Chains A and B, each alone.
Chain A
């Protein structure tokens, strides 16, 4: 069966510091991968998605970037965090053209102070 891992679970970082969140998927090949953010009291905002290694599509221009160095690894980064980057970050995967369903990881709670 497929599993998705995200770490860390919680993170407190000062403004201006860098960020690296990692997501890995097991038990599948060539998944589509997604990064979402849920701000307090808000819905799910798609930040980036990837249909293959090195292929990244950005949905919202912002202070963040994403990379996919391996087939089942997706990384969310920032060089300098802003207060507005605080939120709950979720990684998700889908089988791609086989199915519309996306399956989410446990999330990372980021607080920028």
Chain B
């Protein structure tokens, strides 16, 4: 049972434009959501997170939006840069849970 889903395995975006990565979840207990970025042959790096008490969190070029009623979150990157080319994982957890549940990832390619 895939509780966190990233339905787009890949996405290509022109440099300078906005990249939008999507994530859906099914477990209504999830109350904290994270995005990670992963380059090949490296460990994922934490990018940005959001608590369920918020619907938006911004950090520089990265903004995460949460729509609790739709059980949907998205990561916006603007403007997109070549160094943003990587696999992006969405993850979720809930209070008292030591574990993160990860999506299957979206490979973002920024076209120069």
Please determine whether chains A and B interact with each other in the same assembly: yes
Interface of A toward B, CB cutoff 8 Å: 6, 32, 34, 42-44, 46, 49, 51, 59, 88, 90, 92, 94, 96, 100-107, 109
Please tell me if the beta carbons of B43 and A104 are within 8 angstroms of each other in the complex.
yes
Please tell me if the beta carbons of B34 and A100 are within 8 angstroms of each other in the complex.
yes
Q: Is the interface of A mostly helix, strand, loop or mixed?
A: strand
Contact A103 to B104, CB < 8 A, known contacts A44-B89, A94-B98: no
Please tell me if the beta carbons of A90 and B44 are within 8 angstroms of each other in the complex.
yes
The B49-77 residues at the A interface (CB cut-off 8 A) are 49
Residues of chain B lying within 8 A (CB to CB) of residue A49: 98-99
Contact pick for A107, options B41, B98, B103, CB 8 Å: B41
Pairs A-B, 4 closest by C-beta atoms: A104-B43, A43-B104, A44-B102, A100-B32
B1 in the interface (beta carbon within 8 A): no
Please tell me if the beta carbons of B99 and A46 are within 8 angstroms of each other in the complex.
yes
A34–B98 Cα distance when bound, in Å, is 10
Please tell me if the beta carbons of A51 and B98 are within 8 angstroms of each other in the complex.
yes
A59–B45 Cα distance when bound, in Å, is 22
Contact pick for B42, options A32, A44, A94, A107, CB 8 Å: A107
